[in-house]
Amino acid sequence: MAITLDHLRRYAVARTLFKPTTLARAIDKLGFVQADPIRAPARAQDLTLRHRVAGYRAGDLERRYPKLPLEEDFFVNYGFLPRAHYELMHPRTPKAAWTPARWKQARAVWDFIAERGAVHPREVDAHFAHGKVTNWFGGSSNASTQLLDGMHYRGLLRVARRDGGTRVYATRASDAAPADAATASQRMDALVDVVVRKYAPLPASSLAQLVRQLGGGAPQWEAQRAAALARAKQRLGHARVDGIDWYWPVDDNPAAARWKPDQAVRLLTPFDPVVWDRRRFEILWDWTYRFEAYTPAPKRKLGYYALPLLWHDRVIGWGNVSVADGALSNSFGYTSGRAPRDAAFRAGLEAELAQMQSFLGF
């Protein structure tokens, strides 16, 4: 059977919106959950997991993280991933080498954290008084915060937990040597498979972009990327649909009857696997979604944190949801100019808003 855009659309929705399961299983199935600090009305990681974890409540990931086999780290962007995927990326070579003086600071901080078990950044700053530096936004940051970030990126530290949203660090001892060429190729292929399982089906341009971002952009992978992309195109399932090459896990068949989206109405975070790839989004749903949190208010068309509105296998509009005085406030926009008149849609939207209230704890 020839694969069509309708097949790809149904497959894109059905494969990632699987039956709700446990938190650990959901993250393992997703392979990676992107994090974002904005709460509108909750953080992206929580909004992603609420559709995929039975009984999930906002903040459950942060509360349960210390007891789960998970890590916070850079993957294709920053978020949470199973420890097995994390270990594929380490030891990781940073983009900028440290001076001997910086390494001396890092060793002192590592010893300080190792002695205490887990340390909040302000404890490091208070003990070492590292001062201030200019961050990449052009503002001022604690030098100790940048040092901790660098140590975390290099795999010297891990996030043990969060206190009020702030990362609390513990040491991570690793005497593993950098992978040789053969092992590096195997690791790169495994990382590509993780990202394909998460975001399939992928147009060729998006697959190439994700391969460039894998491993947190570490330069140690640069020599591997082109070959890894070529190998992926050979081993993955693929088809050319309407002039575009698409890729997915080789064991899947996007045209199979099993890929049948349910009837639910869902408000999705801008970082949900259904939405994240803006190229794919526009191809599958024939309209442009933009994340406007950093767009000046007068120039916004959808809203500060517009949540794409999914019904069946169609993203038919967007919603803006906020909490004020203990009540949920919402507004919606539709690509057709008006809401569907179908009673099933109205009932589905009411159920989704009720679920959102429960998820937020009121």
Measured CA to CA, the distance from residue 219 to residue 214 in angstroms comes to 10
Q: Is the pLDDT of residue 42 over 90?
A: yes
User: For residue 49, how far is the Cα from the chain centroid?
Assistant: 11
- Quote the tokens at residue 88: 């594929």
Question: Residue 26: its pLDDT value, please?
Answer: 98
Question: Cβ atoms within 10 A of the Cβ of 266, count?
Answer: 24
* Bridge partners of residue 166, in order along the sequence: 163
Domains, the chain, in order of start with CATH, read: 100-171 (1.10.10), 265-360 (no CATH)
Question: Cβ atoms within 10 A of the Cβ of 334, count?
Answer: 13
Burial class (CB in 10 A: 0-12, 13-18, 19+), 36: buried
Question: Residue 325: its pLDDT value, please?
Answer: 81
CA angle 81, 309, 306 (to 5 degrees): 75
Q: Is the pLDDT of residue 175 over 80?
A: no
pLDDT band with cut points at 50, 70 and 90 for residue 176: low
- First-to-last alpha carbon distance for the chain, in angstroms, is 48
What is the arithmetic mean of pLDDT over 51-69?
97
Inter-residue contact 117 to 129 (CB < 8 Å)? no
Q: Is the pLDDT of residue 3 over 50?
A: yes
Question: Residue 294: its pLDDT value, please?
Answer: 94
pLDDT band with cut points at 50, 70 and 90 for residue 27: very high
The long-range contacts involving 345-354, CB below 8 angstroms and separated by at least 24 positions, are 345/265, 345/311, 348/263, 348/264, 348/265, 348/311, 349/265, 351/264, 351/265, 352/264, 352/265, 352/266, 352/267, 353/321, 353/328
What is the arithmetic mean of pLDDT over 74-99?
91
Q: Is the pLDDT of residue 131 over 80?
A: no
Q: Is the pLDDT of residue 174 over 90?
A: no
What is the arithmetic mean of pLDDT over 165-191?
82
How many CA atoms lie within 13 Å of 32's alpha carbon, on the beta-carbon side? 27
Question: Residue 137: its pLDDT value, please?
Answer: 45
pLDDT band with cut points at 50, 70 and 90 for residue 181: low
φ/ψ (deg, to 5) at 86: -60, -45
Measured CA to CA, the distance from residue 293 to residue 306 in angstroms comes to 9
Q: Is the pLDDT of residue 142 over 50?
A: yes
Question: Residue 140: its pLDDT value, please?
Answer: 60
Question: Residue 95: its pLDDT value, please?
Answer: 80
The proportion of the chain whose per-residue pLDDT surpasses 70, expressed as a percent, equals 95
Measured CA to CA, the distance from residue 194 to residue 172 in angstroms comes to 24
Question: Residue 220: its pLDDT value, please?
Answer: 78
Inter-residue contact 289 to 318 (CB < 8 Å)? yes
Strand order in the sheet with 244-248: 202-203, 244-248, 237-241
Quickly list H helices, 2-67: 5-16, 23-30, 44-49, 60-64
pLDDT digits (tens, 9 = 90+) for 107-127: 999 999 999 999 999 999 888
What is the arithmetic mean of pLDDT over 230-248?
97
Q: Is the pLDDT of residue 136 over 70?
A: no
Give every CB contact of residue 41 below 8 A, 6+ residues apart in sequence: 321, 322, 323, 328, 356, 360
DSSP state of 335: T
- Quote the tokens at residue 129: 């008084």
Inter-residue contact 79 to 34 (CB < 8 Å)? yes
Question: Residue 129: its pLDDT value, please?
Answer: 79
pLDDT digits (tens, 9 = 90+) for 241-276: 999 999 999 999 999 999 999 999 999 999 999 999
Burial class (CB in 10 A: 0-12, 13-18, 19+), 331: exposed
Q: Whole-number mean pLDDT of the chain?
A: 93
pLDDT digits (tens, 9 = 90+) for 282-335: 999 999 999 999 999 999 999 999 999 999 999 999 999 998 888 899 999 999
Measured CA to CA, the distance from residue 55 to residue 358 in angstroms comes to 9
Question: Cβ atoms within 10 A of the Cβ of 117, count?
Answer: 10
Question: Residue 133: its pLDDT value, please?
Answer: 72
Question: Cβ atoms within 10 A of the Cβ of 87, count?
Answer: 14
